[in-house]
Amino acid sequence: MRRLPVFLVIDVSESMAGENLRSLQEGMERLIKTLRSDPYALETTFLSVIAFAGRAKTVAPLVELVAFYPPRLPLGSGTSIGAALEHLMREIDQNVKRTTVQQKGDFKPLVFLMTDGKSTDDMGAAVARWKRDYASRANLVAIGIGQFAALEELSGITPDVLRIESATEQDFKKFIDWISASVRSQSRSIGLGEPTKVNLAKIDDSVMTKIESIAQATAVDEDFVVITGKCQTTRLHYLMKYERMKHAMATRDFHVDATAYNLVGVYAAEKDFEDLSDTRANARTINTEALIGSPGCPHCGAPYGFAACVCGQIFCTKGDGKAICPGCQRELTLSPADGNFDVSRSRG
């Protein structure tokens, strides 16, 4: 039987923590339920999920729809699109059957690559290899989530680039329905004979925009800050997410635009956080003066999640006094900070 391999390549970096990741997690359930109701998709579609942050891994191998179980989407540090492409190419080489003299291979894989940020690795070599050796073997659709996704980078990988304008729960449902409709459309085209090109569903322009030019794709990824902390008790990571709120200060003599970031949530990461995280040193910092709000620890319930060690590790504490840094294991005596200081922020 000739299969239609479908790969969902999903950004699980820090910036996706919270509603975005929850919506995609629920969206996979919605996707499978819809596809299993279509006889064409049920007969031909095989599905796989690749998660990527600083590194990439397969969290659901390529299997037929009836055997597919939506995996838990992990979290990691970084947004290495180059690493995601390299992993995708290895998966295609290992799991997609090519046509030979003896047999017909699988149909062209259909790939949906989803990200809300800008690549934090050098993706040049991976993109060049993809365009040279794989672009003709697979149909790749790139989806930028939110207004600050790096669509210019995605446009360099594939001509099929879309943007989800916002990230509300209803928008994500419509987006997942569009993916379902696109897979079903491709499956039905296969049922009528091998299609010459990808058959995507009609775009719901209330939710998505097709990117037609580089000018449309340009945006600056500075609308959020994510600080990674580590629980002093469990040694598990947690993510403190801040969103930009720009305001102006003015008098008769001067005008200053000031940017601050307001706390919107804190999210617990699991043991596999480091498996997908970029291991390179991160030089990006932000001064705590720009951050409004400090949460407690989502793992142990400690009321303060923003204690800092001289090694740079952010961790939780129950208050002043003795503490052990969960990063470098140094014994510390904690007291209120005297002024503001720089802390490392996420790669994106």
What CATH number is attached to the domain comprising 47? 3.40.50.410
d(CA 130, CA 86): 8
What pLDDT was estimated at residue 299?
A: 97
Q: Assess whether pLDDT exceeds 90 at residue 15.
A: no
Categorize the per-residue pLDDT at 166 as very low, low, confident or very high, splitting at 50, 70 and 90.
low
What pLDDT was estimated at residue 247?
A: 58
Q: What type of residue sits at position 250?
A: A
Q: What is the mean pLDDT of residues 82-102?
A: 94
Q: What is the mean pLDDT of residues 208-218?
A: 54
Domain that holds residue 237: 224-344
What pLDDT was estimated at residue 288?
A: 92
Query: Tokens 């989502």 sit at which residue?
Result: 298
- Number of structural domains (the chain) is 2
Categorize the per-residue pLDDT at 103 as very low, low, confident or very high, splitting at 50, 70 and 90.
confident
Pair (175, 230) in one structural domain? no
Least confident of 47-56, 101-110, 112-121, 184-193: 184-193
Q: Assess whether pLDDT exceeds 80 at residue 188.
A: yes
What pLDDT was estimated at residue 194?
A: 62
Pair (86, 148) in one structural domain? yes
Give the residue, 287 or 190, on which the prediction is more confident.
287
Categorize the per-residue pLDDT at 192 as very low, low, confident or very high, splitting at 50, 70 and 90.
low
Percent of the chain scoring above 70 in pLDDT: 88
What pLDDT was estimated at residue 201?
A: 81
Pair (58, 178) in one structural domain? yes
Pair (173, 44) in one structural domain? yes
Percent of the chain scoring above 90 in pLDDT: 60
Average pLDDT of the residues of the chain: 87
202, 217, 232 - which closes a domain: 217
Phi-psi region of 133 (alpha: psi -120 to 50; beta: other; left: phi over 0): alpha
Pair (203, 247) in one structural domain? no
Q: What is the mean pLDDT of residues 101-121?
A: 90
The whole-model pTM stands at 0.86
Pair (134, 267) in one structural domain? no
Pair (203, 236) in one structural domain? no
Pair (184, 235) in one structural domain? no
Pair (135, 252) in one structural domain? no
Q: Assess whether pLDDT exceeds 60 at residue 254.
A: no
What pLDDT was estimated at residue 344?
A: 86
Q: What is the mean pLDDT of residues 33-38?
A: 93
What pLDDT was estimated at residue 215?
A: 42
Give the residue, 95 or 285, on which the prediction is more confident.
95
Q: Assess whether pLDDT exceeds 70 at residue 217.
A: no
Pair (273, 187) in one structural domain? no
Categorize the per-residue pLDDT at 283 as very low, low, confident or very high, splitting at 50, 70 and 90.
low
201, 217, 233 - which closes a domain: 217
Q: Assess whether pLDDT exceeds 90 at residue 318.
A: yes
What pLDDT was estimated at residue 102?
A: 83
Pair (90, 65) in one structural domain? yes
Pair (90, 168) in one structural domain? yes
Categorize the per-residue pLDDT at 219 as very low, low, confident or very high, splitting at 50, 70 and 90.
very low
Q: Assess whether pLDDT exceeds 90 at residue 213.
A: no
166, 192, 217 - which closes a domain: 217
